[in-house]
Structure 1
Amino acid sequence: MTIASPIRYPDTASPRFMSRRGWWLVVFNLLMPGSAQILAGNRKLGRFGLFTTFVLWALAVLTLVVYLLSPRTLYDIGTSSLGLLAAQILLVAYVVVWVILTFDTVRLVRLVKTAPRSRVWIAAFSVLLLIGVACTAGYASVVAGSARGTLGNIFAAGPSVAPVDGRYNIMLLGGDAGPDRQGMRPDSMSVVSIDADTGKAVTIGLPRDLNPTPFSAGSPMLADYPNGYGYNDTCDVDVCQLNSIYTEVEVYKQKLYPDAIKQHSEPGIEAMRDALEGATGLKIQFYVLIDMQGFADLIDALGGVDIDVKSKLPIGGDENLNGVTGWIYPGKQHMNGYTAQWYARSRHGSPGGDYDRMARQRELQDAILKQINPLNVVTKFQSIASAGQQVVKTDIPQQMLGYFVDLGMKTRKVPVTNLELVPPTIDPANPNYEQIHAMVKKALTPATSTPKSGG
């Protein structure tokens, strides 16, 4: 007779022994699914259960090792459609196996032979384990499927793009499609330049009233504006300023950029890219458009943001503060989406006007990045994913997401340099682009220590 014989061939006449046996089987099923069947049931099913358990453990250990040695590899897998699909299939398969093994374990326990008091506790414990493990793995599978769909909808399909002069330059547009606006237009414009190795980032903010604005070499806009957009107050819309370029091209000149839609962009966005390249002297590889109207949903999905408000700001209203529906008061505040949206949009009541608003939008973007952490994303993923599809549009290739996640981790560890092309340093009505290009170049050049002279 083997050691396992009392468990496989128990004394069913002893409720006390059957209760102890039942607890052992349930615990074995929790710690090593499949072991209960090896000891007391169908050994073939048990061997299959143990095999799946060892595979799961091996994958967990491998994931930990890869994360410690090469986190970039893990990010690549976790942001690829194939990797997410594989994770979804594995999680669903594990749920099915776990449910089968748990039900079979409860059958092997023979609850009717256990002591009446133990019967209830063993059954309740088994049900809680079944629900807990199955729901956790099931939710993870749903998250993987949702992430696969969201990433596919937001990010472009295409090859990786090499850095230019060791940097990735990304045009960041804040589109204002608020309830009091007709259509969408870029209300904030900046270029984020990131060192491809260190993650050190420089944010270059451009005012919307920059005029005139030159276009980069080869831009189809040069034919109409060889001296820059808005030169001599010339344009095809009512206001000739930087963010008007988007509106003009979308309304009148879409044919200038016939491939924009196929490239996961828009004609107006491509014209803005040409303008910001001309203004900064940088080659811009990617763009990210954030819809400020959808910002509120994203912030609510994240649970709000913490902002240290410097001055009292109105919610709603015009330049004379007529129609104000509320106020944002100075001090540290935890803002919901609605309040944060007005914190970013309000241009009345602050001494710096548009330039203060630019700074607040940058502050809000930084606050949102701080709110995005693994726990927050996992626990609120469905809401974040739904909001993200409405908020973000970009041409960053999906296959580069792993790289940018890894680079973003480095960026969060070092201070971000801000270069604002605003008065008094720059006169938007009479910009000196040689000066601007020199300022940009200096901001992107790493500081070097001056050798001390010997003596």
Structure 2
Amino acid sequence: MTVASPLRYPDTASAHTMTKRGWWLVALNILLPGSAQLLAGDRRLGRVGILATLSLWALGIVLLTIALLWPTVVYELFTQAGSLWALQIVLLAYAVLWVVLTLDTLRLVRLVKARPNARGWIAAFAVLVLVGVTGTAGYASFVAASARGALGDIFSDGPTLPPVNGRYNIMLLGGDAGADREGLRPDSMSVVSIDATTGQAVTIGLPRDLDPVPFSSDSPMHTLYPDGYGYQDHCDVDVCQLNSIYTEAELYKSDLYPTATKNNSEPGIEAMRDALEGATGLTIQFYVLIDMQGFADLVDALGGVDITVAKKLPIGGDEDLNGVVAWIEPGKQHMNGYTAQWYARSRHGVGNSDYDRMARQRQLQDAILKQVNPVNVVAKFQDIAHAGAQVMKTDIPQPMLGYFVDLGMKTRTLPVKQLELVPPLIQPDDPDYTQIHQLVKQALAPATPASSGK
């Protein structure tokens, strides 16, 4: 008689023995799936279950170790379509195997031989654990599938790019699309410059009414506007200023950027990139376009956002405040997507200038970054992934996501420096680009330790 004999060859006439055996088999199935079959059922099925379980445990331990020692590797792994697809298949396969093992364990238990008052408890416990484990694995597989789809929709397949002078410079455009507007136009423009080693970020805000605007020397727009876009009111649209460049390139100059669409961009975006390079003196590797209409959906998906409002702002209405439907009151507020969108877009009321709106939009962007945390993302992943695909367009290549996630973790721990190129520092209708370039260099310069004064 072996140790396994009471489990494999029980005294079926003893309800007490069969009840005790039933609890043991169910517990073994939970602790080490496949062990119940190995001891009391189909040993081949048991070996498959144990091998799959131990492999999954080993994979988890390896990933945890790598996450602790080399987190970038894990970030890269879980931001690539191939690895997410593999994870989805593994989780689904294990969920199916667990169902098979649990149902087979209940067959081995032979509930009819257990004490009547224990049968329901044994079955209920086994099914409850089954639902919990398979539900978790199924949801994790669904999250992997959603992530794979969202990442494919948002990010490009382009090559990785090195930093320039130790920094990654990303153009951030806020697209002002909404129910009351035709099409999309950039309403806020900034460059986020991130130190490729430390993660220290500097946000450089540019006013939309900047005029004239120089283009980088290698830009096709530079040939058309050698003295700058808007110089002596020279342009092909009604208003010659920074955010008009997007519209002009989209409507009249799209042939200057024939590869834009193939590279997950647009002619208007590429023209804006050239303009911001000329204005700041920086090389801009990537862009991110945020659609303010989808922005509301993202805020709702995150469960709202906390903002400290400095001054009373109207929701709706015209410049005379006719038709205002509500007011955003000063003080700390938890905003839903609708209110947050109006907080970013509101342009009327006392002391509400374009520059105030720029500052509010960046305040909102910072608040959303703080709202994004692992618990929030996992709990609302489907909504966030859907909203993200609607709200954002970028040419950041998917192979670089792991690196940028790791860099972003460093950025979150550091204060973000701000350089707003607005009055009184800069006069948008008469900008001094020598001064602007110098201000940008000073903002990006690393902090130096104070002198000891010997």
TM-score, shorter chain, exceeding 0.5: yes
Give the distance between the partners of 1:45 and 1:156, measured in 2 at CA.
43
Alignment of 1:22-421 (within 5 A): 22-421=22-421
SS at match of 1:211: coil
The letter of the residue matching 1:425 is L
CA distance in 1: counterparts of 2:112 and 2:88, whole angstroms? 38
1:227 CA drift (Å): 1.0
Aligned-pair CA distance for 1:182: 1.2
How many Å separate the matches in 2 of 1:155 and 1:387?
14
Q: Distance in 1 between matches of 2:447 and 2:44?
A: 67
Partner of 1:435: 435
Task: Spell out, residue by residue over 1:227-262, the C-alpha distance to the aligned partner (whole angstroms, 9 max, x if none).
Answer: 111111221111111101001111111111111111
Partner Cα separation in structure 1 for residue 137 and residue 49 of structure 2: 16
CA distance in 2, matches of 1:449, 1:68: 31
* Conservation of the 8 A alpha-carbon contact between 2:158 and 2:395: no
1:305-343, CA deviations, whole angstroms, 9 ceiling, x for partnerless residues?
011111110001111111111110011111100000000
- d(CA) in 2 for partners of 1:127, 1:350: 63
Letter in 1 for 2:106: V
C-alpha distance in structure 2 between counterparts of 1:128 and 1:42, whole Å? 23
- Local SS of the residue matching 1:202: strand
Contact 2:81 2:148 in 1 (8 A): yes
Q: CA deviation at 1:207?
A: 0.5
Deviation string for 1:179-232 (max 9, x for gaps)? Answer: 111110000000000000000000000000111111001111112211111111
Q: CA deviation at 1:365?
A: 0.4
Q: Distance in 1 between matches of 2:173 and 2:307?
A: 21
SS at match of 2:418: strand
Q: CA deviation at 1:4?
A: 1.4
* Offset, 1:451: 3.0
Contact 1:314–1:326 at 8 Å: present in 2 too? Answer: yes
CA–CA distance in 2 between the matches of 1:350 and 1:159?
48
RMSD, aligned CA: 0.9
Q: Secondary structure at the match of 2:288?
A: strand
Whole-angstrom CA distance in 2 between matches of 1:276 and 1:428: 14
Superposition deviation, residue 147 in structure 1: 0.8
Write the deviation string for residues 368-424 of structure 1: whole angstroms up to 9, x where unpaired.
Answer: 111111111111111111111111000000000000000000000111000000001
Mapped contact 1:37–1:43 kept (Cα < 8 A): yes
Q: Equivalents in 1 of 2:321, 2:121: separation in Å? A: 66
Tell me the secondary structure at the aligned position of residue 203 of structure 1: strand
CA–CA distance in 1 between the matches of 2:411 and 2:342? Answer: 28
Deviation >6 Å, runs of 4+: none
Count of aligned residue pairs for this structure pair: 454
1:423 maps to which residue? 423
Alpha-carbon distance between aligned partners in 1 of 2:305 and 2:174, rounded to the nearest angstrom: 18
Residue pair 1:355, 1:422 contacting (<8 A) in 2 also: yes
The separation in 1 between residues aligned to 2:296 and 2:15, in whole angstroms, is 60
- Taking structure 1 as the reference length, the TM-score comes to 0.99
> How many angstroms apart in 1 are the aligned matches of 2:360 and 2:114?
67
Q: Is the 8 A contact 1:350 1:356 kept in 2?
A: no
- Which ranges of structure 1 fall in alignment gaps of 5 or more residues? none
CA distance in 2, matches of 1:319, 1:213: 28
Distance 2:157 2:370 in 1: 28
Per-residue deviation, 1:450: 4.0
1:312 counterpart letter in structure 2: K
1:56-106 Cα deviation digits (max 9, x unpaired): 110110011000000000000000111101101110110111011000000
Identical amino acids, percent of aligned pairs: 71
| Contact 1:292-1:391 within 8 A present in 2 as well | yes
Secondary structure of 1:183 counterpart: coil
Structure 2 unpaired stretches of 5+: none
Output the CA distance in 2 between the equivalents of 1:336 and 1:16.
59
CA distance in 2, matches of 1:351, 1:343: 14
C-alpha deviations, 1:9-30, integer Å up to 9, x for none? Answer: 1111121221111111111101
CA distance in 2, matches of 1:343, 1:14: 73
In 2, the alpha carbon distance for the partners of 1:313 and 1:233 equals 33
The alignment partner of 1:307 has SS state of strand
Q: Report the Cα distance in structure 2 between the residues aligned to 1:38 and 1:453, rounded to whole angstroms.
A: 76
Tell me how far apart the structure 2 counterparts of residues 313 and 451 of structure 1 sit (CA, whole Å).
46
CA separation in 1, counterparts of 2:363 and 2:8?
Answer: 66
Tell me, in whole angstroms, the C-alpha distance in 2 between the residues paired with 1:451 and 1:425. Answer: 28
Quick one: distance in 1 between partners of 2:45 and 2:348?
70
Contact 1:170 1:286 in 2 (8 A): yes
Shift of 1:367: 0.9
Secondary structure, counterpart of 1:326 in structure 2: strand
Equivalent AA in structure 2 for residue 74 of structure 1: V
Matched-pair contact (CA < 8 Å) for 2:75–2:403 = yes
Partners of 1:260 and 1:270 within 8 A in 2:
yes
